[in-house]
Structure 1
Amino acid sequence: MRTTLKITATAAVTTALALGLSACGTSSDPGAGSTASADTSKPLVVAASPTPHADILNFVKKNLAEKAGLKLEVKEFTDYVLPNTATQSGEVGANFFQHKPYLDDFNKKKGTDIVPVVNVELEPLGLYSKKVKALTDLKAGQTVAIPNDTTNEGRALKLLADNGVITLKDGVGTDANLSSIKDAKGLTFKELEAATLPRALNDVDAAVINGNYAIEAKLKPAQDALALEKADGNPYANFLAVKRGNEKDPRVVKLAQLLNSDEVKKYIDDTYDGSVIPSFGAAK
């Protein structure tokens, strides 16, 4: 998979600050990425999806990091796998691109030991189309594309069910898959990698697209989505994450504080106009 690199730097790290942070994952695997072996005088390299994650990090780098004594580098990835494997290997010190259900599934399947640090924002998942103008225009025989990774597929199907597009079997949760559909109402589903869904809009009747990829494709979720996730009680906040053992790296602690600052909240509100929503607090 192709990755794009953007590296920026500011000033040096200063004092270590204590911060109680929640963790999840498997047993620790000490290595190059652990706090004990990390050189905290070097920049903190953070892997991120381009929009909005890298944009938010670059705002922090340009406007807040130097004053806070944090040296920050941002490394962009265009998929959902490499940021975690790079964090696990120690190639980067942290990542910012994912939500808890995705991370839990990734750790379980890949044997990685990545843990969340602090929630930052929510990108509501939405249903988009270039061929129909409203949910009621979706008819039997039409095709809807959905993300093919476990957690986002379940999330997409729940969005469709919540809006009456399909009916799921009783008791199905966020781990829903195509076999969980009780009544597809004549629709056909096409499972695709999340990053490719915006490009698929020309080939299908509708597609459920992650917020970051929708924004990159110049879609405006708050305006263009036929259906959009609600923010209240949503478990899909995106967070800063590290390899277990690095939660109290002073650079990570400082970045966590900056990502939950009033300045970042204002930046998100002003930049994304409801398509990305601040969702601050300790990740659990």
Structure 2
Amino acid sequence: MKRKKIKHMTVVALMLTLAIVAAGCSSGNKDKGNEPGPSEAAGGNTGSVTLKVGSAAVPHAEILNEVKASLKEKGVDLEVVVFDDEGQLNPALHEKQIDANFFQHVPYLDSVKDEKGYDFAVTTKVHVEPIGFYSDKLKSKDEIKEGAKIGIPNNPSNEYRALVLLQEQGLIKLRDGLTTYEATPKDIVDNPLKLEFIEADSATLPRALPDLDGAIINTNLILEAKIDPESALFRENANSPYANIIVVRKGDENREEIKKLDEALTSPEVKKFIEEKYGVAVVPAF
């Protein structure tokens, strides 16, 4: 009787051992089968590269977002980083927080790169935002009266740009020999209406319109302020040299993902998108 009991206990112990081993194997296989493969672990895109581009909100970020899908198909995950303070976009590129930026034109870049020590390269032109003269009080250029207060941007390149526009309209005359895309009201040699110029940060000019007779304002700021760009009393023509550009650190212009970005931004699809969405406010530069 004792032997039978011992034999029975041995069989039970053996069965329990086999059951535990089988369960362990089953559990191991289950875990192994659920492990993500290399592409899953990397988010499903093992061959993709993330490209971080800093930009102004309008229209720059909107244009960049338009090419996200096409770049995704080409293995580039485009991350658009909008900066409320555009003055931080070049420092962010310089400090390698982003791979490229999209907000400026060549005259502006030229006006700051030497002073700040930026070693940047321009890869492509995308669009022109014709700067224009806006007013809450006037209906036409002919209503500008003697002594009118006119707001203009206070950064060197856009201030020059604003004064050149006023010169083209016959309202002032600048001295000869201005070749560096820089000028201030001190460079005006003829001001028949004795216009008073209020130099201010570009971003503040839309809000300042009620206190001015008019102001020359960048179109991206007009769009952000929900002002109709068609309401400009006059503006630059499409031949403006102030095309907005993609800027990268020197040496990065040959990166494959940068080339793909440039190609996408200068495609017929993007040209159509810009023309249909923005009309006269934004003009393709390609």
Partner of 2:234: 227
Partner of 1:48: 55
Q: How does 1:49-88 map to 2 (within 5 A)?
A: 49-61=56-68, 63-88=69-94
CA distance in 1, matches of 2:81, 2:46: 19
Q: Give the letter for the 1:50 counterpart.
A: A
**Superposition deviation, residue 77 in structure 1:** 1.2
CA distance in 1, matches of 2:46, 2:132: 39
Call closer, same or farther: CA 1:194–1:12 in 2, change over 3 Å: farther
Q: Give the letter for the 1:253 counterpart.
A: K
Listed one character per residue, the Cα deviations across residues 77-101 of structure 1 (whole Å, up to 9, x for unaligned) are 1233211110010000000001000
Name the structure where helix makes up a greater proportion of residues: 2
For the Cα contact (< 8 Å) 1:64–1:258, is it kept in 2?
Answer: yes
Report the TM-score, using the length of structure 2 for normalisation: 0.81
RMSD of aligned C-alpha atoms? Answer: 1.6
Moved more, 181-190 or 51-60: 181-190
Moved more, 249-258 or 153-162: 249-258
State the secondary structure of the residue aligned to 1:72: strand
For the Cα contact (< 8 Å) 1:135–1:165, is it kept in 2?
Answer: no
Listed one character per residue, the Cα deviations across residues 56-107 of structure 1 (whole Å, up to 9, x for unaligned) are 001111x322222211100111233211110010000000001000011110
**Superposition deviation, residue 12 in structure 1:** 4.7
Listed one character per residue, the Cα deviations across residues 117-138 of structure 1 (whole Å, up to 9, x for unaligned) are 1000000000100011111111
Partner of 1:30: none
Q: Give the letter for the 2:221 counterpart.
A: Y
**Superposition deviation, residue 236 in structure 1:** 0.5
Aligned residue-pair number? 242
Report the TM-score, using the length of structure 1 for normalisation: 0.81
CA distance in 2, matches of 1:160, 1:196: 20
Q: Which of 259, 266, 277 matches 2:265?
A: 259
Call closer, same or farther: CA 1:206–1:12 in 2, change over 3 Å: farther
**Superposition deviation, residue 171 in structure 1:** 3.3
Partner of 1:140: 146
For the Cα contact (< 8 Å) 1:143–1:190, is it kept in 2?
Answer: yes
CA distance in 2, matches of 1:11, 1:241: 30
Partner of 2:199: 191
Unaligned 5+ segments in structure 1 are 1-9, 15-40
**Superposition deviation, residue 202 in structure 1:** 1.4
Q: How does 1:171-182 map to 2 (within 5 A)?
A: 171-173=177-179, 174-182=181-189
Listed one character per residue, the Cα deviations across residues 226-246 of structure 1 (whole Å, up to 9, x for unaligned) are 1100112x2110011101111
CA distance in 2, matches of 1:164, 1:117: 36
Q: Which of 109, 120, 138 matches 1:114?
A: 120
Partner of 2:226: 218
Q: How does 1:18-29 map to 2 (within 5 A)?
A: none
For the Cα contact (< 8 Å) 2:49–2:76, is it kept in 1?
Answer: no
Call closer, same or farther: CA 1:182–1:195 in 2, change over 3 Å: same
Unaligned 5+ segments in structure 2 are 1-42
**Higher relative contact order, chain-length normalized (CA < 8 Å, sep 6+):** 1
Q: Give the letter for the 1:246 counterpart.
A: D
For the Cα contact (< 8 Å) 2:49–2:257, is it kept in 1?
Answer: no
For the Cα contact (< 8 Å) 2:49–2:75, is it kept in 1?
Answer: no
CA distance in 1, matches of 2:152, 2:178: 17
Listed one character per residue, the Cα deviations across residues 125-158 of structure 1 (whole Å, up to 9, x for unaligned) are 0010001111111112221010000000000000
